[in-house]
Structure 1
């Protein structure tokens, strides 16, 4: 483990993940952590995770970003004390809140209808449901709130943003820490990491929560097969459902 990205969601986590990939790092972002590392995170939820578990799971990973890692940056640093910590921040708290609010609203719009939501979750299969459960466990740890918004939630979100950033800046050894805004580009990042500045422009990812649509349409390169697995499980459920309906119709027709 070389780099621990401690910025909470909507602080440029996807931009940072792509920047580190361009620098040659093996990055575990949200889907890599869910697909490859979730045994460790479930141990965290069971209060059974040890330093050795962190070392065993993450020793071959160069960098982590987004959740759950951002909420457990201190435990990861304890396991890998030579790692560098990058705290990503936005230009202002207002800018961050506007971004996270838009993200929540976009996610809500994709799951419109109180009755349709559980039906879709059942239809989409076990991996999708496990990911929802996984998010429900770790998003509150990162944001101090679940996927909703309003006056009360705004206060919680804003407070969490301040608390998290202040704690990282206070608790992390200064020599290990870079406070970084993606608008600063390659310069401070590469200087901190001790690497050369690439010839390519600094990336800008997940503008207007576009990753949500990319994952849904199969256009996201780093979902670790999540979308294809969910699609296969969905097709299987549809086939089974159609077979059951056909069998029931045939039974009643012959019974009459």
Structure 2
């Protein structure tokens, strides 16, 4: 869906969207840029277990309303081709407290993240079975992002090291790439379609309740202002 500053400002009034504005307090060390339903939640849990505090995932965007405003601003800048508003300083306003990122919305800004954080290690997480990925993705997310295979072309051209990884590869290649001790514990297994639906419901229920309340207030103000203007013109 095409976003415009005007329509966004109207929705911001209705949804009463607060804005997060962080400053980076720790280095961003890992960019996991695979699309949703490619082991992103399992990978997030694994990165946290390896000591990356914190690892941003789409669930935080869903459950934290203060993230909506900065991400929409970033989306508007990308839509307008305004690279000056897609720097590390701008991304840090929403992920400044994270040492790693995975899942959406981050993977939707893959190229911008590569430009903004040239020293971060890059993981291209993927699923080998595309049919299984499609079924999983169709059941949970509506918007698809750039596939890791497309990002590989850029990374090979630039000579930037990266790890192409899938959940079945387990701990060893991931830990060696990140220069961490190889873990012997079972690899995390999270975010089934039912988990996804439950978290989505939790996040959107509160947003809908707030929107209904704010829409009533917004409509009342508009009607009241209109009535006042009509009264003044008649007077």
TM-score relative to the length of structure 1: 0.59
Partners of 1:2 and 1:82 within 8 A in 2: yes
Within a 5 Å distance, the mapping from 1:78-117 to structure 2 comes to 78-103=115-140
Partners of 1:2 and 1:84 within 8 A in 2: yes
Greater helix fraction, Structure 1 or Structure 2: 1
Partner Cα distance (2:33, 2:124) in 1: 5
Partners of 1:86 and 1:180 within 8 A in 2: yes
Displacement of 1:213 in angstroms is 4.1
TM-score relative to the length of structure 2: 0.63
Q: 1:214 to 1:57 in 2, by over 3 A?
A: closer
Aligned to 2:122, the other structure's residue is in SS state strand
Name the structure 2 match of 1:46: 76
Q: 1:193 to 1:211 in 2, by over 3 A?
A: same
**Are residue 167 (structure 1) and residue 150 (structure 2) matched?**
yes
Within a 5 Å distance, the mapping from 1:102-181 to structure 2 comes to 102-103=139-140, 140=143, 142-143=144-145, 164-172=147-155, 173-181=158-166
Displacement of 1:65 in angstroms is 1.1
Partner Cα distance (1:57, 1:215) in 2: 20
Displacement of 1:7 in angstroms is 0.7
Give the alignment's Cα RMSD to 1 decimal: 2.8
Deviation digits for residues 93-126 of structure 1 (CA, Å, limit 9, x no counterpart): 222123223436xxxxxxxxxxxxxxxxxxxxxx
Displacement of 1:231 in angstroms is 8.7
Deviation digits for residues 132-173 of structure 1 (CA, Å, limit 9, x no counterpart): xxxxxxx53x34xxxxxxxxxxxxxxxxxxx62221111124
Q: 1:217 to 1:228 in 2, by over 3 A?
A: closer
Partner Cα distance (2:181, 2:195) in 1: 28
Aligned to 2:31, the other structure's residue is in SS state strand
- Bigger drift between 173-182 and 72-81 goes to 173-182
**Are residue 211 (structure 1) and residue 195 (structure 2) matched?**
yes
**Structure 2: where are the runs of 5+ without partners?**
1-27, 217-235
Partners of 1:11 and 1:96 within 8 A in 2: yes
**Structure 1: where are the runs of 5+ without partners?**
105-138, 144-162, 219-225, 241-256
Aligned to 1:46, the other structure's residue is in SS state helix
